[in-house]
Structure 1
Amino acid sequence: MALAANTFPAPDRLPLRRALLSVFDKSGLVEFARGLSELGVELLSTGGTAKALSAAGLAVRDVSDVTGFPEIMDGRVKTLHPAVHGGLLGIRADPAHAAAMEAHGIQGIDLLVVNLYPFEETVASGAEAPAVIENIDIGGPAMIRAGAKNHAYVAVATDPADYGAILEAVREGQGTDLSLRRRLAAKAFGLTASYDGAVSAWFAAKAGEGAPARASFSGTLAGTLRYGENPHQSAAFYRTGEVRAGVSTARQVQGKELSYNNINDTDAAFELVAEFDPQRTAAVAIIKHANPCGVAEGESLAQAYGRALACDPVSAFGGIVALNRRLDAASAAEIVKIFTEVIIAPEADEEAIALVAARKNLRLLLTGGLPDPRARGTLVKSVAGGLLVQSRDAGHIDDLDLKVVTRRAPTATEMADLKFAFRVAKHVKSNAIVYARDLATVGIGAGQMSRVDSARIAARKAQDAASAAGGEPLTRGSAVASDAFFPFADGLLSAVEAGATAVIQPGGSMRDEEVIRAADEHGIAMVLTGMRHFRH
């Protein structure tokens, strides 16, 4: 049956007489509680929170004294009681509610200070199921929801960052105002929704449900952005609970605020460069508009950067530079020679940081590590009225069973370049064509409607770079990678025309035999991976 509407108008300003504090994260707790106490607010608390307040010399009343019932079951049951929830849910202006509170000796709670057991952190630590389950908070979310529902009379603080604003409101206005309580309520329900979503996702994973009937995707606001892809679009950046080295976890050493496009492009750059094991090689990726314009391996980062830049020096202007090793002075000195938006690396030498500091607008991000290219995760993309959800593309060329299908097998040098090119093609927008020579890209074609156009654009870019450098296009004698199969032989023939001598592609086209026959006719070595890398 439908519940009667609450017809009592919410008061704007409410005095703060009684607060219930029960927190796991005790950041700023004692200072906040002391401020409340100095304003004459009665403090109620539970368990460890009450001990922390008492140890700080604050007068605090244990919730068990209010409920007349002790904490039981190792603290699982302590606040789930009418004396608590009645104090949170009672509509003070409703005569019936007021009478019930008086009849049962229930005192109103004007401020609820609660944060939750660290469920996501426990999962991320690799804890066993019993420990994870014990970190599913029950009483906390119940109280938060109750207080936030009744925000007309209760302020709910779930974030230590809000303690100062609450104290200021009480000091200056003799209580909390309705706009503050509404803002706190919105944050409170956002917390419980996010928390329950994380719990639900963990149970679904344990049950082997790849696509549960209901799913939640949430994040914590890292900051609002000046605008989105374009100035007329609003934007914000949220961090999810995924533990993955990258732009979301990086420390910004210097430079302007990151923009929406900066974040998107920097993520693409760092995910690409992480394909290259830093123990094996130094690698650099230069990204523009989420596509690589140059990628290379080298004996040093400085060498790799120079070779990556040579692929397309025009597009590299104003790009993102990602490195798979610690940024050193030699590579920093080269990078700052042209306008660059962002440098992202696992770490940086002090001398390198000083060199970058000379370009005050250049952002330098240090992540502390590289993301694992083989680790699965969840990717979410919005469409009108829905969400597309998929696992991360964790396919890795070193794990694939490569199959030579032409009469001529690739040489060892060609095979190394083929693998390199396919690593890069995984991170190029489809249709993707990547020419590589000596472990460096020499031509990249991205995002075209036809694969033959991508092959031609990549070859033309190589010709432009060669003309600027006064030499021959490095596509001659190169290896070429395609992110998906060649539907016709024309794409392959364009690569042959550009001078490629070996090709790697997934295979699987109805015309594979036609494409293989064309490769044999031109003496081209062809390798099939059996794995496609579409990227939209």
Structure 2
Amino acid sequence: MAHILSAVEGTQVDVVPVRRALISVSDKTGIVDFCQFLAKQGVELISTGGTAKALRDAGLTVMDVAEYTGAEECLDGRVKTLHPKVHGGLLAVRGNKLHEEQMQKQGMKPIDMTILNLYPFEQTVAKGAEFGQCVENIDIGGPSMLRSTAKNHSFTCIVTSPEQYGAIQEEITAKGGTTLALRKKLAAQAFALSAAYDSAIASWFAGQLDTDAPIVTRVYKPEFPLKYGCNPHQKPAQISSRLGAGLPFTVKNGVPGYINLLDAANAWQLVQELKQATGLAAAASFKHVSPAGAAVAVPLTDVECEAYEVTPDIRDSLTPVALAYLRARNADPMCSFGDFSAVSDQVDEATAKYLKKEVSDGIVAPSYTPEALEILKAKKGGKFIILEATPNYNPGDMEYREVYGMTFSQKRNDVIIGKDHMNQVVTSKKDLDEAAIRDLIVASICIKYTQSNSVGFSKDGMMVGVGAGQQSRVDCVKLAGRKVETWYLRQHPKVLGLPFKSDVKRQDRVNARVRYIEGDFTEEEKVRWEAQFTTVPEPLTEQEKAEFLSNSKGISISSDAFFPFRDSIDHASKLGVSYVAQPGGSVQDDQVTEACNEYGMAMCFTGVRLFHH
């Protein structure tokens, strides 16, 4: 044994030529071209049944594994590569005298490369195959060859994916063989694949039994490092994908950070669901993993155009996706400052031009026109983050999260709130028109991705107030309600008529209007605020605010969990709420319903709680 160990430790060959390759693949993508390349390098090809036929049909010379081993396949193909001549050829240490003597005695030949795929076990399970068929798709020989080849990576090269063929060809062409660095990398990928494969089998098998939950192995592929985690001192940090699944986005521009990607993941799900539920282009503006705003494409009123600084030429050029983002951004423009955006449809030039004016960190979308991409790439001095969503990405049914050494798992919240959830109207007022249903859907999907407790107010297809993360539900209502008041008062004639100096920037105008509405200046602040105007504005009095707010109506509110008391409804009544959506299920449901009846509101029970943490 000591002799073998010393040989292993003392023999680190860098470039190893490939003279003999063993091939057994179920995914035959690119295998003929790859093997034609190997044959041109003088590589002897050994293969199993279906793969051997495909290679011969392409005119290649191939030796069957049975011919090489001298043992026929048997047991319905269960045994074909489980043979000393196969594994001896893979595991033998080159340059080890004892190994070489034993190989010669037993007629073994060194095998320098194994190209394989594992049986498609997960795909078989996904198709709903019966138990016996799933068991038959548990690969034995493949993982055995994979592990033998990967273990002996000092001399042998394991190839497990068509995606690896190109890099291997380039290296053999340039260097005459595979390098140790590449073989180590491929071996690491192979062992990760083996771990993921065994985990899938173990999880499925245990799931067929009436036993406790199985041991779960999660295998991740590092994708790229992050500058840091949530905070600068949280290093190292990186983003990984589930092995074989890839990421839900590709980076087209910029360098996303930890929180950027969390915002992108939540925002992208939100806009996809809004589009699916309403059929309208949708957008979201995220900050710190909660939406500052979200909206669907509903035409603007003249007053809204004035409040949001939408000139006639901009209004005429708005496409549905641009309109949706404009509304989402104007729900709470102070909170949207430095946001991460998401839109449900292709980003066009009109959307890119509008986004170019806003202070924003990045965007995720399904695609971009060439003109839009060039506009956005120039934003923030070229640092604007542009993510393109992966088409038909499958996030999996289960979610896992590690917190303080504990791993939480749960079924992903894949309920899409739609019209059907608004059917159970429990109040005396029953009429929910299409606009009200749309707004309740918008609010409900928005709070699904808002840190709980949460409530959201919506009007005309856009969120006009989001309350996130409060311990008391009525505090959520009050927090979001204050935002509703600000949104509505931004349309007050005195706010619209503020006489700004021509050099005051857009975001400064936004902030100044909000502070004017709030009115609680310190003396020092008031001096700086007044300096932005050609003439000092008259205050907006509390009476004027109250009179203007009394005209608010038709607003919808949705709650991520039931209202435990009527106090939330009492407060919502001050804001012009006409429609309410909540899961229901409280012992106080009757009291809350009666409160809605007193204020003439229509309330529906969705039956779905939407906590998000």
TM bin (shorter chain): 0.7 to 0.9
CA contact (8 A) 2:37 2:169 kept: no
**1:171/1:337 Cα in 2 relative to 1: closer, same or farther (>3 Å)?**
closer
Residue 273 of structure 2 corresponds to 275
> Structure 2, unaligned stretches of length 5 or more?
299-319, 497-547
What is the CA–CA distance in structure 1 between the aligned matches of 2:63 and 2:176, rounded to whole Å? 26
* Residue of structure 2 aligned with 1:432, choices 449, 454, 463: 454
Residue 486 of structure 1 corresponds to 563
**1:226/1:493 Cα in 2 relative to 1: closer, same or farther (>3 Å)?**
same
What is the CA–CA distance in structure 2 between the aligned matches of 1:38 and 1:414, rounded to whole Å? 69
What is the CA–CA distance in structure 1 between the aligned matches of 2:50 and 2:57, rounded to whole Å? 10
**1:204/1:224 Cα in 2 relative to 1: closer, same or farther (>3 Å)?**
farther
Q: Is the counterpart of residue 103 in structure 1 residue 105 in structure 2? A: yes
Q: Which amino acid aligns with 1:264?
A: L
Residue 83 of structure 2 corresponds to 81
What is the CA–CA distance in structure 2 between the aligned matches of 1:527 and 1:176, rounded to whole Å? 66
Deviation at residue 153 of structure 1 after TM alignment: 4.9
**1:221/1:45 Cα in 2 relative to 1: closer, same or farther (>3 Å)?**
farther
**1:197/1:535 Cα in 2 relative to 1: closer, same or farther (>3 Å)?**
same
What is the CA–CA distance in structure 1 between the aligned matches of 2:287 and 2:240, rounded to whole Å? 20
Give runs of aligned pairs for residues 44-59 of structure 1, distance below 5 A.
44-47=46-49, 49-50=51-52
CA contact (8 A) 1:324 1:370 kept: no
Residue 322 of structure 2 corresponds to 302
Q: Is the counterpart of residue 515 in structure 1 residue 518 in structure 2? A: no
**1:255/1:454 Cα in 2 relative to 1: closer, same or farther (>3 Å)?**
same
Residue 403 of structure 1 corresponds to 424
Q: Which amino acid aligns with 1:191?
A: L
Q: Is the counterpart of residue 288 in structure 1 residue 365 in structure 2? A: no
Q: Is the counterpart of residue 261 in structure 1 residue 282 in structure 2? A: no
Of Structure 1 and Structure 2, the greater helix share is in 2
CA contact (8 A) 2:457 2:466 kept: yes
* Residue of structure 1 aligned with 2:159, choices 157, 160, 182: 157
**1:21/1:400 Cα in 2 relative to 1: closer, same or farther (>3 Å)?**
same
What is the CA–CA distance in structure 1 between the aligned matches of 2:406 and 2:215, rounded to whole Å? 13
What is the CA–CA distance in structure 1 between the aligned matches of 2:356 and 2:464, rounded to whole Å? 22
Q: Which amino acid aligns with 1:297?
A: V
Deviation at residue 22 of structure 1 after TM alignment: 1.2
What is the CA–CA distance in structure 2 between the aligned matches of 1:155 and 1:350, rounded to whole Å? 41
* Residue of structure 1 aligned with 2:239, choices 221, 236, 245: 236
CA contact (8 A) 2:254 2:386 kept: no
Deviation at residue 261 of structure 1 after TM alignment: 2.6
Q: Which amino acid aligns with 2:421?
A: L
What is the CA–CA distance in structure 2 between the aligned matches of 1:164 and 1:241, rounded to whole Å? 18
TM-score (norm 1): 0.81
Matched residues, number: 524
What is the CA–CA distance in structure 2 between the aligned matches of 1:526 and 1:62, rounded to whole Å? 72
What is the CA–CA distance in structure 2 between the aligned matches of 1:322 and 1:503, rounded to whole Å? 26
Q: Which amino acid aligns with 1:192?
A: S
Q: CA offsets, 1:238-274, max 9 Å, x none?
A: 14556xxxx934455x421433333221121111112
CA contact (8 A) 2:367 2:389 kept: yes
What is the CA–CA distance in structure 1 between the aligned matches of 2:10 and 2:377, rounded to whole Å? 53
Q: Which amino acid aligns with 2:425?
A: V
* Residue of structure 2 aligned with 1:377, choices 378, 397, 410: 397
CA contact (8 A) 1:43 1:59 kept: yes
Residue 195 of structure 1 corresponds to 197
What is the CA–CA distance in structure 2 between the aligned matches of 1:194 and 1:105, rounded to whole Å? 35
CA contact (8 A) 1:442 1:474 kept: no
- Structure number with greater Rg is 2
Q: Is the counterpart of residue 332 in structure 1 residue 409 in structure 2? A: no
What is the CA–CA distance in structure 2 between the aligned matches of 1:161 and 1:263, rounded to whole Å? 28
Residue 112 of structure 1 corresponds to 114
Q: Which amino acid aligns with 1:262?
A: N
Residue 470 of structure 2 corresponds to 448
Q: Which amino acid aligns with 2:259?
A: N
Deviation at residue 145 of structure 1 after TM alignment: 1.3
SS in 1 for 2:363: strand
SS in 2 for 1:321: strand
What is the CA–CA distance in structure 2 between the aligned matches of 1:298 and 1:175, rounded to whole Å? 55
Judge which range, 39-48 or 432-441, deviates more: 39-48
What is the CA–CA distance in structure 1 between the aligned matches of 2:550 and 2:154, rounded to whole Å? 70
Deviation at residue 484 of structure 1 after TM alignment: 0.8
Q: CA offsets, 1:298-343, max 9 Å, x none?
A: 2422332222222111222332322233333333332222133333
Q: CA offsets, 1:357-377, max 9 Å, x none?
A: 5434434444476779xx982
What is the CA–CA distance in structure 2 between the aligned matches of 1:474 and 1:233, rounded to whole Å? 53
SS in 2 for 1:390: strand
TM-score (norm 2): 0.72
Deviation at residue 353 of structure 1 after TM alignment: 4.0
SS in 1 for 2:414: coil
> Structure 1, unaligned stretches of length 5 or more?
none
What is the CA–CA distance in structure 2 between the aligned matches of 1:174 and 1:240, rounded to whole Å? 27
**1:59/1:415 Cα in 2 relative to 1: closer, same or farther (>3 Å)?**
closer
CA contact (8 A) 2:268 2:343 kept: yes
**1:506/1:27 Cα in 2 relative to 1: closer, same or farther (>3 Å)?**
closer
Deviation at residue 533 of structure 1 after TM alignment: 0.6
SS in 1 for 2:9: coil
Q: Which amino acid aligns with 1:289?
A: H
SS in 1 for 2:292: strand
* Residue of structure 2 aligned with 1:140, choices 126, 139, 142: 142
Q: Is the counterpart of residue 213 in structure 1 residue 211 in structure 2? A: no
CA contact (8 A) 1:437 1:474 kept: no
SS in 2 for 1:394: coil
**1:473/1:351 Cα in 2 relative to 1: closer, same or farther (>3 Å)?**
farther
Residue 317 of structure 1 corresponds to 337
SS in 2 for 1:214: coil
Q: Which amino acid aligns with 1:235?
A: Q
Q: Which amino acid aligns with 1:306?
A: L
What is the CA–CA distance in structure 2 between the aligned matches of 1:322 and 1:397, rounded to whole Å? 19
Deviation at residue 50 of structure 1 after TM alignment: 4.9
Deviation at residue 455 of structure 1 after TM alignment: 1.7
Residue 501 of structure 2 corresponds to none
**1:358/1:123 Cα in 2 relative to 1: closer, same or farther (>3 Å)?**
farther
CA contact (8 A) 1:484 1:534 kept: yes
What is the CA–CA distance in structure 2 between the aligned matches of 1:184 and 1:296, rounded to whole Å? 46
What is the CA–CA distance in structure 1 between the aligned matches of 2:365 and 2:45, rounded to whole Å? 48
Q: Which amino acid aligns with 1:484?
A: A
Q: Which amino acid aligns with 1:426?
A: K
What is the CA–CA distance in structure 2 between the aligned matches of 1:291 and 1:310, rounded to whole Å? 15
SS in 2 for 1:503: strand
What is the CA–CA distance in structure 2 between the aligned matches of 1:443 and 1:31, rounded to whole Å? 58
What is the CA–CA distance in structure 2 between the aligned matches of 1:195 and 1:224, rounded to whole Å? 26
What is the CA–CA distance in structure 2 between the aligned matches of 1:475 and 1:55, rounded to whole Å? 79
